[in-house]
Chains A and B, each alone.
Chain A
Amino acid sequence: MSGISKDQLNHIAKLSNLPLKEGEDTKFSKLLSDTISYINVLNELDTSKVQETYQVTGLVNVFQKGDENVATLLQEDATKNANEVSKGLIVTKGVFERS
């Protein structure tokens, strides 16, 4: 797999929800291509019979006990850092257009 084209880069930026500045697509496509050519070193290793390790603790199905969750916030504290608050609720961008 070789480099990342400008078109691909703009697609990735869209998936990442990142607005790019003028000229950044060229810069990033080069840097990302360089990094990818480095990580291809992994192809030297045969992993056909190896399982993935997604986390190292070996813990499975860790649940909280009912009375353990002490991390609750008052509505006032939870909304304090929000950009816009209306009637005690955080204002977000609309997902659907009003008809």
Chain B
Amino acid sequence: MNLNKLTINEALRGLKKGDFTVVDLVTDCLTQIENHDKKIKAFITVTKEAALKRAVELDTELKSRGNEVFSDKPLFGIPYAAKDNYSTKGILTTASSKILDNYYPPFDATAIKKLNDAGAVLIGKTNMDAFAHGSSTETSDFFTTKNPWNTKKVPGGSSGGSAAAVLADMCLFATGSETGGSTRGPASWSGVVGVKPSYGRVSRYGIVAMASSTDSPGPITKNILDSAIVLNVMSGKDPLDATSNPLGVPDFTEGVRSYSLKGVKIGKPKSYFDADLEKGTKEKVEEAIEVFKSLGAEIVEIDLLDPKYAIAVYTILQRSEVSSNLARLTGVRYGNTRDTFGFEAKKRIMLGTYALSSGYYDAYYSKAQKVRTLIIDSFNKAFEKVDLIVAPSMPCVALDVGESDKSPMFGEIMDMLNEPSCISGNPGISIPCGFYNKLPVGLQLIGKMNDESSIFGALARFEEVTDYHKQRPEL
């Protein structure tokens, strides 16, 4: 029946009408994985039996309780994939690293618990750069995920398995996590929607930590409405994450339904568009900006601190926090011994240790935290003048497998347009806005802190008049 191709909203409608069952929906996703994942390699683990068992339970519940299940379980029966750094109780959670290749968490990450409680059905765990250290999935200790548009290309990373799985219709949505571009990046290179919420919006509890001060979990979906539906569920204050946002969670689908672009000011940062961008990517984003204009938005040139400084700040902070977070992996309580760390992880741990060590702390770590303040100030100043900021999500379209080896800072440079808003904590969402060389180009809108709603609204209006998000590759 190809139910795997549905969006969340379409699937919920079908389930409500009784057109098909949860078992049908889950089965179609599992079949798609069986048919195509040998080539794409999006999944590390497929939880077939558990997913089918859960589907049967949900079908029984739907039969006995009727359609009221949809009001207390907003993702009732929706099959999803989780990035492999989300702890899943009793299910292998490796973060794509050999050091954790035998780790079965005794608990669920808060985000996983919320999704499961909302009726979503976990069908598997997706490949990523090991510990999310990368932008291509090539640093995975197991294998590289291929871009479904062209299997010679990478899908982006670190949430590359999740982006590829959503694009290839192997699930209805997936979870990503972004520390410096890891959700928007692969969403852009794969041609799906990727949400980096405001820092603190979604609990980090139970997600294998990378850089705790910027880690932001969020959804990867087929369209904007679906992202709003999933983010509604994932968000909220969590007593287990002290940095989670205590303010209430707005209904993100509201903006999707009612937001108007008339009179909205969208800032176009000169330093981002003057950066080293591929011609085709820049052109497609410029064309998309014309679409926002035609929908009533006003485009305003703004100044933001040059992203080259964000690359350096991110490199120092991320390595420093990694060296501390990965210190807990000793092979005593869980996982293997430290000699099983991959090359990239070792490199990052050592640079972080160096940046934090006696005599160097002020020159690197403290300096970077000061420049972070400048980055935040520069966003705040811009948002005095504009409501949203537009930029390409990535400087180019998806690169060839193997390209990332050419620079020790490949990921940082590819993610340069995402890193500033990760460092500042602002929300950003990437959506497909065109194609160049038969590969998707991603555009992002960045919003004020805790104002995901305006981004959802503006991008929903863009989606209504374009169909880039509906394009699918032949697998």
Q: Which residues of A contact B (CB under 8 A)?
A: 1, 4, 8-9, 12-13, 15-20, 24, 28, 31-32, 34-36, 38-45, 47, 50-57, 59, 62, 64-65, 68-71, 73, 77-78, 80-83, 90-93
Contacts and interface: CB of A to CB of B under 8 A. Distances in A.
A52 B366 contact: yes
A73 B350 contact: no
Contact of B245 (A20, A34, A50, A57): A57
Given A43-B367, A52-B370, A53-B372, 18 more contacts: A8-B354, A13-B350, A32-B350, A35-B315, A38-B311, A42-B371, A47-B373, A50-B370, A52-B369, A54-B369, A56-B213, A56-B376, A57-B200, A57-B243, A57-B425, A65-B239, A91-B332, A93-B332
A77 B376 CA distance: 42
Given A59-B242, A73-B106, A41 B309 contact: yes
Given A35-B409, A39-B315, A73-B107, A18 B341 contact: yes
Contacts of A69: 239-240
Given A16-B353, A31-B347, A38 B409 contact: yes
B465 interface: no
A47 B367 contact: yes
A10 B373 CA distance: 33
B91 to A, nearest CB: 13
A92 B239 CA distance: 30
Contacts of A1: 360, 363
12 contacts: A4-B354, A12-B354, A16-B349, A16-B353, A17-B330, A18-B338, A18-B339, A57-B199, A59-B242, A73-B107, A81-B105, A82-B333
B82 interface: no
Closest 7 CB pairs of A and B: A81-B334, A52-B369, A56-B425, A47-B370, A77-B106, A68-B239, A62-B242
A18 B371 contact: no
A35 B350 contact: no
Given A50-B373, A59-B246, A41 B308 contact: yes
A50 B374 contact: yes
Contact of B338 (A17, A35, A50, A62): A17
Contacts of B332: 82-83, 90-93
A31 B354 contact: no
A27 B289 CA distance: 44
By size class, the interface of chain B is 35 or more
B245 A53 contact: no
Given A47-B374, A90-B333, A31 B408 contact: yes
Contact of B107 (A12, A39, A71): A71
A60 B227 CA distance: 30
Contacts, number: 147
Contacts of A15: 353, 357
A18 B246 contact: no
A53 B373 contact: yes
Contacts of A93: 332
B354 A32 contact: yes
A51 B370 contact: yes
Contacts of A68: 239
B402 interface: no
A18 B106 contact: no
Nearest to A92: B332
Interface in B357-393: 357, 360, 363-364, 366-374, 376
A51 to B, nearest CB: 6
B452 to A, nearest CB: 15
B435 to A, nearest CB: 32
B331 interface: yes
A97 to B, nearest CB: 19
Contacts of A41: 308-309, 312
A17 B326 CA distance: 11
A47 B309 CA distance: 13
Interface string B217-258: 000000000000000000000011011011000000000000
A44 B311 CA distance: 14
A51 B376 CA distance: 12
B351 interface: yes
A28 B105 CA distance: 32
A62 B446 CA distance: 28
Contacts of A28: 346-347, 350
Interface in B47-103: 102-103
Interface in B79-135: 102-107
B350 A17 contact: no
Nearest to A16: B353
Contact of A38 (B106, B315, B331, B353): B315
Nearest to A17: B338
Contact of A34 (B327, B373, B408): B408
Contacts of B177: none
A50 B372 CA distance: 10
Contact of B213 (A44, A51, A54, A62): A54
